[in-house]
């Protein structure tokens, strides 16, 4: 357990691999600026470390379902569907893997089990909530507040935690508000995390979205390369119509920005699809299996690619 939410729910992290090494003698900022990046990373050889986090937005259950099925598979050889993926298990054995299956337990606790094929209004209300007059807080609207003013809402949605904090944007240096964000950043720093897969859901075909421009050039290049490969893999798996455009850094600041600062990690955001119903839209809907499949596809892509090229190339410091 790495944290308690404001409502008292535990936030669990599940570790796979050897995590026996002592704490870093330096933080990443100082260590990366010292004579050797190993001041932070350590001299002791260890496998690359991937942190998979799900449910930062509690209303988005798809990545959490993927994470829980992944844990089940790593524990028993099969996921909850009874499906085995020996290739994934073999790949996972080549890494240290930390899985946080649900970061925002508060938001998850009040959210529907799923939002598959709901209409757009329902999707928005379930996610970002409703003001007292019943109107949508909205996706961008929700970000006008930090925290969301809970006395002004009829329903807060599962996006924020129970204090109204959107954990994905709880990333102001020196002013981290939620125990959840603080614990995740400490987790990444302590275990020298090389890559973060940050699982979310939105209303389009699943994709790894463009990274923040606020990172090192090497990390931006690496994250764009991972995004391109993951999106091609999602397309090959039949989960997208096209691989999508060439990934490029965009103006954004979020928790991934701080993961890069905390441990040097290449951090990507995976958006699964909620598959909501659009009567006049040709976009396809997804089965429950397909809703969580992007987690497996993306993780495998990252793990395969990381065997050829370091996920975070610290030697560039
Ligand atoms: Zn989200």
What pLDDT sits at residue 316? 81
What pLDDT sits at residue 185? 98
What pLDDT sits at residue 315? 83
Question: Distance from the CA of 240 to the center of ligand 1, in angstroms?
Answer: 19
CA pair distance 85, 66, nearest whole angstrom: 13
Q: Minimum mean pLDDT among 145-154, 221-230, 243-252, 283-292: which range?
A: 283-292
- Average pLDDT of the residues in 210-221: 95
Cα 176–chain centre separation: 18
Decide if 206 contacts 242 (C-beta within 8 A): no
What pLDDT sits at residue 56? 98
- Average pLDDT of the residues in 206-218: 95
CA pair distance 8, 10, nearest whole angstrom: 6
- Ramachandran angles phi, psi of 97, nearest 5°: -125, 130
Question: Distance from the CA of 98 to the center of ligand 1, in angstroms?
Answer: 20
Question: Distance from the CA of 60 to the center of ligand 1, in angstroms?
Answer: 6
Question: Distance from the CA of 81 to the center of ligand 1, in angstroms?
Answer: 25
- Average pLDDT of the residues in 61-66: 98
Question: Distance from the CA of 142 to the center of ligand 1, in angstroms?
Answer: 12
pTM, two decimals, is: 0.97
Question: Distance from the CA of 132 to the center of ligand 1, in angstroms?
Answer: 23
Mean pLDDT of the chain: 95
User: Around ion ligand 1, which residues have CB less than 5 A away?
Assistant: 57, 60, 200
Cβ neighbours around 283 below 10 Å, total = 12
**pLDDT above 60: residue 29:** yes
Decide if 181 contacts 171 (C-beta within 8 A): yes
List 190's β-bridge partners, or say none.
none
Question: Distance from the CA of 105 to the center of ligand 1, in angstroms?
Answer: 14
Question: Distance from the CA of 32 to the center of ligand 1, in angstroms?
Answer: 31
Nearest to 50 by CA among 236, 313, 306, 314: 306
Contacts 24+ apart (CB under 8 A), 79-88: 81/289, 85/296, 87/300, 88/296, 88/299, 88/300, 88/303
Decide if 236 contacts 247 (C-beta within 8 A): no
CA pair distance 110, 9, nearest whole angstrom: 12
Question: Distance from the CA of 56 to the center of ligand 1, in angstroms?
Answer: 6
Question: Distance from the CA of 316 to the center of ligand 1, in angstroms?
Answer: 31
Question: Distance from the CA of 83 to the center of ligand 1, in angstroms?
Answer: 27
The confidence band for 213, taking pLDDT boundaries of 50, 70 and 90, is very high
The confidence band for 1, taking pLDDT boundaries of 50, 70 and 90, is very high
**pLDDT above 70: residue 279:** no
Question: Distance from the CA of 158 to the center of ligand 1, in angstroms?
Answer: 10
**Residue entry with tokens 């796979």:** 16
Question: Distance from the CA of 58 to the center of ligand 1, in angstroms?
Answer: 8
Q: Minimum mean pLDDT among 237-241, 255-259, 284-288, 302-306: which range?
A: 284-288
Q: What percent of the chain stands above pLDDT 90?
A: 89
What pLDDT sits at residue 104? 98
Which CATH architecture does the domain made up of 3-312 adopt?
3-Layer(aba) Sandwich (3.40)
Q: Minimum mean pLDDT among 105-114, 144-153, 270-279: which range?
A: 270-279
Question: Distance from the CA of 61 to the center of ligand 1, in angstroms?
Answer: 10
Residues 6 or more apart whose CB falls under 8 angstroms from that of 213 comprise 220, 249, 250, 251, 252
Question: Distance from the CA of 200 to the center of ligand 1, in angstroms?
Answer: 4
- Average pLDDT of the residues in 222-249: 95
CA pair distance 150, 27, nearest whole angstrom: 36
The confidence band for 3, taking pLDDT boundaries of 50, 70 and 90, is very high
What pLDDT sits at residue 283? 61
Q: Kindly report, residue by residue over 79-109, the tens digit of the pLDDT.
A: 999 999 999 999 999 999 999 999 999 999 9
The residues spanned by each domain of the chain are: 3-312
Question: Distance from the CA of 31 to the center of ligand 1, in angstroms?
Answer: 32
Decide if 33 contacts 317 (C-beta within 8 A): yes
Decide if 205 contacts 273 (C-beta within 8 A): yes
> What are the tokens at 210?
């463009």
Question: Distance from the CA of 204 to the center of ligand 1, in angstroms?
Answer: 12
Question: Distance from the CA of 271 to the center of ligand 1, in angstroms?
Answer: 7
Question: Distance from the CA of 139 to the center of ligand 1, in angstroms?
Answer: 10
The confidence band for 255, taking pLDDT boundaries of 50, 70 and 90, is very high
- Average pLDDT of the residues in 261-285: 81
**pLDDT above 90: residue 164:** yes
What pLDDT sits at residue 280? 57
């Amino acid at each position: 357990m790495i944290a308690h939410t404001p409502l008292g729910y535990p936030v669990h992290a599940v570790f796979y691999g050897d995590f026996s090494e002592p704490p870093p003698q330096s933080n990443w900022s100082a260590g990366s600026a010292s004579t050797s990046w190993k001041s932070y990373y350590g001299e002791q050889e260890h496998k690359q470390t991937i942190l998979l986090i799900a449910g930062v937005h509690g209303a988005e259950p798809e990545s959490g379902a993927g994470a829980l099925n992944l844990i089940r598979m790593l524990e028993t050889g099969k996921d909850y569907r009874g499906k085995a993926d020996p290739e994934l298990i073999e790949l996972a054995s080549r890494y240290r893997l930390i899985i946080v299956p649900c970061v925002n337990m508060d938001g998850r606790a009040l959210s529907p089990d799923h939002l598959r094929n709901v209409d757009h209004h329902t999707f928005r209300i379930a996610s970002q909530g409703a003001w007292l007059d019943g109107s949508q807080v909205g996706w961008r609207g929700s970000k006008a507040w930090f925290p969301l003013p809970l006395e002004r809402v009829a329903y807060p949605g599962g996006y924020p935690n129970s204090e109204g904090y959107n954990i994905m944007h709880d990333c102001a240096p020196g002013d981290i508000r939620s125990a959840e964000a603080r614990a995740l950043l400490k987790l990444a720093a302590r275990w020298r995390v090389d890559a973060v897969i940050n699982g979310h859901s939105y209303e389009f075909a699943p994709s790894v979205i463009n990274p923040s421009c606020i990172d090192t050039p090497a990390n931006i290049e690496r994250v764009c390369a991972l995004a391109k490969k993951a999106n091609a893999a999602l397309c090959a798996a039949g989960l997208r119509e096209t691989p999508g455009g060439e990934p490029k850094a965009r103006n954004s600041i979020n928790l991934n920005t701080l993961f890069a600062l905390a441990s040097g990690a290449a951090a990507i955001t995976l958006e699964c699809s909620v598959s909501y119903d659009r009567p006049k839209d040709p976009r396809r809907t997804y089965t429950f299996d397909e809703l969580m499949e992007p987690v497996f596809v993306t993780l495998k892509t990252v793990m395969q690619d990381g065997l050829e090229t370091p996920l975070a190339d610290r030697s560039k410091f």
